[in-house]
Amino acid sequence: MRTILCAVLAALVAAPVLGEDKPAVKELDTKDLKVAFPEKVPGIKNPEVVTIADALAKSPTLKDAADAVKKLVNFEKEKLVVFAWQGSGGDKLSAVAKTVDGKTTVTFLRTLGFTRDLRQHLKVYVVPKDADVKGGDAK
């Protein structure tokens, strides 16, 4: 009983500390949104970043879903990062967020798939507004 109580107490004490190290990065589910694959594909290293709600109307990817996206994002504290690329159907994109000296950096890494099919990929993420964003390929 004492071991369980100690484990619960340790988890409660560690939770606020762990929460500060991992800023919220979440992927938006685009299945129900009217998103469009852009004509000019920016790729992994040049994601589209939307920092204000008014910019959604000018976004080549999100303009048709602007009203729905505004309800999902708090643009005072968050921004959108949109990745569009063409590649293997097995391609994956993952996010790693780190905070060092109060500065948050979110690095998105694409892992290349092994299938020989050409697919369009579109991923939309919500990240903290003050975070730096980087994109690249995993090694």
Q: For the chain, give percent helix, strand, coil, nearest 5.
A: 25, 35, 40
Whether 78 is covered by a domain: the verdict is yes
Q: What is the mean pLDDT of the chain?
A: 85
Number of domains composing the chain: 1
pLDDT: is 104 or 23 the higher one?
Answer: 104
**Range of the structural domain that residue 50 is part of:** 23-137
Q: Is 90 a member of any domain? A: yes
Residue 1 in any domain: the answer is: no
Section 59-76 average pLDDT: 94
- Classify residue 96: in a domain, yes or no: yes
Question: Taking a C-beta distance cutoff of 8 angstroms, is the pair 76, 107 a contact?
Answer: no
Is residue 5 situated within a structural domain?
Answer: no
The model's pLDDT over 4-42, given as tens digits with 9 standing for 90+, comes to 433 444 444 444 444 444 458 999 999 989 999 988 888
Please report which confidence band the pLDDT of residue 85 belongs to, taking 50, 70 and 90 as the band edges: very high
19 contact partners, CB below 8 Å, separation of at least 6:
none
Q: Is residue 4 situated within a structural domain?
A: no
Measured from the Cβ of residue 65, the count of other Cβ atoms closer than 10 Å reads: 20
Closest Cα partner for 95 from 35, 138, 55?
138
Percent of the residues in the chain that have a pLDDT greater than 70, as a whole number: 83
Sign for the CA dihedral angle at 89, 65, 41, 136 comes to negative
In a domain, 16, yes or no: no
